[in-house]
Amino acid sequence: MPIPPKTLHFLRKLKKNSDPVDVAARLQPSERVSSPIMTLPKPTGASVSRIWTRLKKSGVPSSAQDSLADEQTLAQLDAYAGNIENMIGTVKVPIGVVGPLCVNGIFAQGEYFVPLATTEAALVASYARGAKAVGRSGGVSVATLGEGVLRSPAFRFSSIAEAGLFVDWVVSSLDDLISVAETTTRHGKLLSIDPVIDGEIVFLMCRYDTGDAAGQNMVTFATEALCAHAVEASPVAPKTWYLEANFSGDKKASFLGAMLGRGRRVTAQVDVRGDVVEKTFGLSIEQILEYGRVANLGALMSGQVGAQAHFANGLAALYLATGQDVACVAESAVGFTRMERSESGLLVTVTLPNLMLGTVGGGTQLPTQSACLDVIGLRGTGNASALAEIAAAMCLCGELSLTAAVAGGQFGDAHKRLARGE
């Protein structure tokens, strides 16, 4: 079998820059033993200073401390107490704004300015162009179709028979399990428990309504209480059990999430008039659809979970700006984009089944993140579903603009102009 060209290329590069004997020596276990920085959960001026002293002894320049541990950050350390350990400062990411974005939703109604935090030139410009086209066509219609955050514990028994007995007990004890889980939270509700058996192993898909919070910690604490009760009260004792058994799709793209959803499931649609398409994007509807057919084939052939252009771009920027758990983009960016000709123009539809976000808890209360939620007008209780609808509408704008950019040969030029100033 011939050696793949990429392997040959890497081997040549490796031999050109390194002696094989030296490489082998570098890969040997080190005898260096350094004491780690002790975990400091609550940041104080003294703890930040202590860590920086250690870092500078290791060669980190003082200029790094000046940039990260600036005066405003040090004055607001208490605000970060529940969000970070071993804090040394804050990172400033540039924030642009898109809007007004016209949204006709069940929960979000009106025009919104949407802050996006990113270091990628052309991203904000692209979403703004999509929002412009949408606004000229009456706005995006958006509907929240469902919500529910999953946590999936697993229990291992001695046999399939014991696994079956456990499931029988779970089904007959649903009220007790729900009651125990909900004692851990004021806002969360356990909506359902769906057992899944694989031999002697039982997974429980526990789905929660988490109110206006993204709810990752909420469902963890509730499920932990549920599991402890199950182990104590079940007529058959598991050999082992695990609070999360990698079945829920937490922070991963999964087919389960694409079909059943793990956060808020939202669909958005707009009918962009033909004249708006041509004036805003400088190309015809057929050019966009032709590229869309090729792109969908590429998604199919590459095995994408879902089929869309770049949900992750806009979601990551929105999540950074508004204090969401950015790692949840891995699952939130799963979804589907559909474009087709309508009687008046171009019908664009997006569906995102896994939007994990909130307007309370987590990082949403941090100083700059709460300010960004104020820019949208959705800080605090009662706003999470509206934020999800705005996120879906924004993703639609990005899908429309990027698809048009690639279809019209504008993609590279836009990045040259905005990133390099060419």
C-alpha torsion 27→28→34→35, nearest 10: 90
From the list 189, 251, 271, 278, the catalytic residue is 251
Residues paired with 189 in a beta bridge: 209
Angle CA 134–214–386, to nearest 5: 30
Rounded to whole angstroms, the Cα distance separating 199 from 157 reads 9
Task: Respond yes or no: is residue 251 known to be catalytic.
Answer: yes
Nearest to 357 by CA among 317, 401, 326, 394: 326
Identity of residue 381: T
352 and 269 Cβ atoms separated by less than 8 Å: no
Structure-token pair, residue 195: 């057992």
Please list the alpha-helical segments (H only) found in 324-366: 329-332
Enumerate residues 6+ apart whose C-beta is below 8 A from 263: 147, 148, 149, 214, 328, 331, 332, 354, 355, 356, 357, 388
87 and 65 Cβ atoms separated by less than 8 Å: no
From the list 162, 200, 212, 415, the catalytic residue is 415
Rounded to whole angstroms, the Cα distance separating 202 from 168 reads 11
| Host H or E run for residue 193 | strand 189-198
From the list 244, 271, 278, 325, the catalytic residue is 325
Task: Respond yes or no: is residue 415 known to be catalytic.
Answer: yes
Task: Respond yes or no: is residue 120 known to be catalytic.
Answer: yes
Task: Respond yes or no: is residue 310 known to be catalytic.
Answer: no
Q: How many other C-beta atoms are found inside a 10 Å radius of the C-beta of residue 55?
A: 17
C-alpha dist (Å) from residue 390 to 76, 355, 382: 30, 11, 14
Q: Kindly tell me the sign of the dihedral angle through the C-alpha atoms of 277, 392, 139, 371.
A: negative
Maximal CA-CA distance, the chain: 72
Rounded to whole angstroms, the Cα distance separating 98 from 106 reads 21
Rounded to whole angstroms, the Cα distance separating 84 from 256 reads 31
Mind telling me the catalytic residues? 120, 251, 325, 415
